[in-house]
């Protein structure tokens, strides 16, 4: 693996609606190292590339299948067959209560032609683009909400691992990184399901930074939210905790999320954010909605 990698977060999602095939093709053209696939199972056990177990914040499900709303007011991917899901239109992420886009400057909701797709469909496009362009861009699938899937009687990890193997992804050399927030499930993927893939333990809570040694028992890397190791910002200078050094000392790579040029928070510019995280903090990779900017930044070094 390269020294520093760029992961297209939900595709080139700063420019086209997240997880659409169009956003993945655009990301491929940006020469990223990996393209991300968040995965949720359909009723008929097809891994769908979508960020949430819900459909109503990126599709027109409420108009097409109003009768399928659950008591909590949400529409669940798992209640629909792949064929039914294919009938929906996909839009730039919005608040289902107000209809307003989360990132107002991004692609508008006017275009009606974007569709959901499966993991298999996306792998086939990426592999064929690799063939036709001579590139070697990897995939970075995430097992979403495994506990929810188990409750619904589904073993998503098993299904996904089989598909990955069918498409040639089974070892650390196969341009595939498998990620999950759920530590119990990722450990199971390594220990019980015997996966030899490069595994990344995602992290979102500060108390998880105390679990690095545990994670190193089964994972090859960790994927923390950058706020877990950004300790302080004073006068535009950043200080970091020992997290990255500690992870490296345990042999863990660190891929941090999520870098957004239109949501800079504590940073003045996207270049400053890239420099702080990739070089001052010394992470090994970044998940970003604007992968072209990260590739350009690294190329210019």
Q: Check binding of 14 to ligand G3P (CB under 6 A).
A: no
76 binds ligand G3P (CB under 6 A): no
Question: Should residue 9 be labelled a site residue for ligand G3P when binding is judged by CB under 6 A?
Answer: yes
- Listing DSSP states for 185-252 in one string gives HHHHHHHTS--BSEEEEEE-SGGGGGGHHHHHTT-SEEEEBGGGTEEEEETTEEEE-SHHHHHHHTT-
Residues in the chain: 301
What residues have CB less than 8 Å from 230, skipping those under 6 apart? 238, 239, 240, 266, 276, 281
Is there binding between residue 289 and Ca ion (CB under 5 A)?
no
Q: According to the binding rule CB under 5 A, does residue 122 interact with Ca ion? A: no
List the one residue out of 30, 29, 38 whose CA is nearest residue 9: 38
The reply to whether 179 sits near ligand G3P by the rule CB under 6 A is yes
Catalytic residue, candidates 9, 19, 149, 255: 9
Choose the contact partner of 185 out of ligand G3P, Ca ion, none; CB within 5 to 8 A by kind.
Answer: none
Local structure of residue 173 (DSSP, 8 states): T
Output the smallest distance, CB 96 to ligand G3P, in A: 17
Judged by beta carbon, residue 96 or residue 221, the one nearer ligand G3P is: 221
Q: Are the beta carbons of 221 and 252 closer than 8 angstroms?
A: yes
Residue from 22, 33, 56, 142 binding Ca ion (CB under 5 A): 142
DSSP class of 34: E
| Binding-site member from 223, 224, 285, 291 for ligand G3P (CB under 6 A) | 223
**Total residues binding ligand G3P (CB under 6 A):** 11
| Whether residue 150 lies in the annotated active site | no
Residue 40 C-beta-side C-alpha neighbours within 13 Å:
21
149 is catalytic: no
Asked whether position 18 contacts Ca ion by CB under 5 A, the answer is no
CB of 63 to ligand G3P, least distance (A): 26
Q: At 217, list the tokens.
A: 């028992």
Q: Indicate whether 142 belongs to the interface with ligand G3P (CB under 6 A).
A: yes
Question: Which of Ca ion, ligand G3P, none does residue 257 bind to, with CB < 5 to 8 Å depending on kind?
Answer: ligand G3P
- Phi then psi for residue 185, to 5 deg, are -70, -40
User: What's the Cα-to-Cα distance from 3 to each of 117, 223, 300, rounded to whole Å?
Assistant: 32, 16, 15
Active site (catalytic) residues:
9, 51
**By the criterion CB under 6 A, which residues form the site for ligand G3P?**
9, 36, 38, 51, 142, 179, 202, 223, 257-258, 287
Kindly list the residues in this chain that would bind Ca ion in the complex (CB under 5 A). 38, 142
């Amino acid at each position: 693996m390269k020294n520093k990698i760029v992961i297209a977060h939900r595709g080139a999602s700063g420019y086209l609606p997240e997880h659409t095939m169009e956003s993945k093709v655009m990301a491929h053209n940006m020469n990223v190292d990996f393209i991300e696939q968040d995965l949720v199972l359909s009723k008929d056990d097809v891994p769908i590339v979508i960020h949430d177990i819900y459909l109503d914040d990126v599709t027109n499900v409420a108009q097409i299948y109003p009768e399928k709303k659950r008591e909590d007011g949400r529409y669940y991917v798992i209640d629909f067959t792949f064929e039914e899901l294919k009938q929906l239109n996909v839009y730039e992420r919005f608040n289902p209560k107000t209809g307003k886009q989360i990132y107002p400057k991004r692609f508008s909701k006017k275009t009606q032609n974007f569709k959901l797709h499966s993991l298999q469909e996306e792998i086939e496009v990426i592999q064929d683009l690799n063939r036709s362009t001579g590139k070697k861009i990897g995939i970075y699938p995430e097992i979403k909400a495994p506990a929810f899937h188990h409750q619904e009687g589904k073993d998503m990890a098993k299904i996904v691992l089989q598909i990955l193997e069918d498409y040639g992804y089974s070892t650390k050399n196969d341009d595939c990184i498998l990620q999950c927030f759920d530590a119990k499930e990722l450990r199971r993927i390594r220990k019980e399901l015997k996966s030899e893939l490069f595994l990344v333990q995602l992290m979102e809570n500060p108390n998880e930074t105390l679990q690095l040694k545990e994670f190193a028992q089964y994972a090859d890397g960790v994927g923390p939210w950058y706020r877990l190791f950004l300790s302080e910002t004073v006068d535009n200078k950043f200080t970091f905790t020992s997290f990255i050094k500690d992870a490296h000392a345990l042999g863990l790579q660190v891929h941090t999320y999520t870098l957004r040029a239109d949501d800079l928070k504590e940073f003045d510019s996207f270049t400053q954010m890239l420099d702080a995280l990739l070089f001052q903090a010394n992470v090994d990779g970044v998940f970003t909605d604007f992968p072209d900017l990260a590739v350009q930044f690294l190329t210019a070094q």
